[in-house]
Copies of this chain bind each other. A is one copy, B any other.
Amino acid sequence: MADHVYKMIELVGSSTESSDAAARRAIEQAAKSIRNMRWCEVVETRAHIENQQIAHWQVKLKVGFTIEDSE
């Protein structure tokens, strides 16, 4: 682990269900193009309101993943 370099990217995931699910959705989508994700940090939690109630959560995450030499 001492010789790894990680890259952080920032994502916003959305979910009508819960704030945790919004974070999971962002990771799920990122998994389509990024390999070797290791951890994430929640940096902002917002929600969109429609018809006077929370319609969906929006969670902004920083995600860290290992950069491999071929990258």
Contacts and interface: CB of A to CB of B under 8 A. Distances in A.
Interface of A: 1-16, 18-20, 23-33, 35, 37-42, 44-49, 52-57, 60, 62-64, 67, 69, 71
Nearest to A9: B7
A5 to B, nearest CB: 4
Query: Copy number of this protein in the oligomer?
Result: 12
A45 B42 contact: yes
Given A14-B1, A20-B18, A29-B5, A46 B40 contact: yes
Contacts of A9: 7-8, 10
Given A32-B69, A37-B52, A3 B8 contact: no
Contact of A16 (B2, B25, B28, B47): B2
